[in-house]
Amino acid sequence: MVVDDETMITTTLSTMFKLMMKENVIAYNDVEQALNCNELINNQVDLIISDFMMPKMNGLEFLKNVREKCPNTVTILLTGYADKENAIRSINEIGLYYYLEKPWNNNDMIKVVKNGLEKKELEDDLRKKYDELEQSNHEITRLYELLKHDYNTETESSKNLIITLANVIEAKDKYTDGHTRRVGMLSRMLGDRLGLEEDRLNQLEIAGIIHDIGKVGVPENILNKPDRLTEEEFDIIKKHTEIGETIIKPLGSLRDCIGPVRSHHEKLNGSGYPDGLKSEEINMETRILAVADIFDALYSDRPYRARMSIEEAKEILAKDVRNGCLDIRVVDALYELLAEDGLAQVFK
| pLDDT level of residue 78 (50, 70, 90 thresholds) | confident
Question: Taking 70 as the threshold, does the pLDDT of residue 144 lie above it?
Answer: no
Does the pTM of the predicted model rise above 0.85? Answer: no
Highest mean pLDDT among 86-95, 165-174, 249-258, 267-276: 267-276
pLDDT in the model for residue 229: 82
Q: What is the mean pLDDT of residues 119-128?
A: 87
- Helix H, strand E, coil C: the string for the chain is CEECCCHHHHHHHHHHHHHHHCCCCCEECCHHHHHCCHHHHCCCCCEEEEECCCCCCCHHHHHHHHHHHCCCCEEEEEECHHHHHHHHHHHHHCCCCEEEECCCCHHHHHHHHHHHHHHHHHHHHHHHHHHHHHHHHHHHHHHHHHHHHHHHCCCCCHHHHHHHHHHHHHHHCHHHCCHHHHHHHHHHHHHHHCCCCHHHHHHHHHHHHHCCHHHHHCCHHHHCCCCCCCHHHHHHHHCHHHHHHHHHCCCHHHHHHHHHHHHCCCCCECCCCCCCCEHHHCCHHHHHHHHHHHHHHHCCCECCECCCCHHHHHHHHHHHHHCCCCCHHHHHHHHHHHHCCCCCCCCC
| pLDDT level of residue 268 (50, 70, 90 thresholds) | very high
Residue 85 or residue 238, greater confidence? 238
Rounded Cα gap, residues 266 and 273, in angstroms: 5
Q: Which amino acid is at 287?
A: R
Rounded Cα gap, residues 216 and 171, in angstroms: 9
Q: What is the mean pLDDT of residues 295-308?
A: 79
pLDDT in the model for residue 154: 42
pLDDT averaged over the chain?
85
pLDDT in the model for residue 155: 35
pLDDT in the model for residue 286: 97
Question: Taking 90 as the threshold, does the pLDDT of residue 166 lie above it?
Answer: no
pLDDT in the model for residue 300: 81
| pLDDT level of residue 156 (50, 70, 90 thresholds) | very low
pLDDT in the model for residue 25: 94
pLDDT in the model for residue 213: 87
Q: Which of 27-36, 66-75, 338-347 has the lowest mean pLDDT?
A: 338-347
Question: Taking 90 as the threshold, does the pLDDT of residue 230 lie above it?
Answer: no
Rounded Cα gap, residues 17 and 117, in angstroms: 12
Looking at domain 157-339, its CATH superfamily turns out to be Hypothetical protein af1432 (1.10.3210.10)
Task: Provide the pairing of β-strand 2-3 with 98-101.
Answer: unpaired
CATH, range 2-125:
3.40.50.2300
Answer yes or no: same fold for 2-125 and 157-339: no
Question: Taking 80 as the threshold, does the pLDDT of residue 135 lie above it?
Answer: no
Percentage of the chain modeled with pLDDT above 90: 47
Q: What is the mean pLDDT of residues 202-222?
A: 87
| pLDDT level of residue 307 (50, 70, 90 thresholds) | confident
Residue 143 or residue 65, greater confidence? 65
Question: Taking 50 as the threshold, does the pLDDT of residue 151 lie above it?
Answer: no
Spacing of C-alpha 111 from chain mean position: 37
Q: What is the mean pLDDT of residues 122-127?
A: 86
Q: Which amino acid is at 90?
A: S
Domains of the chain: which residue ranges? 2-125, 157-339
Q: What is the mean pLDDT of residues 115-139?
A: 82
Question: Taking 60 as the threshold, does the pLDDT of residue 150 lie above it?
Answer: no
Question: Taking 60 as the threshold, does the pLDDT of residue 153 lie above it?
Answer: no
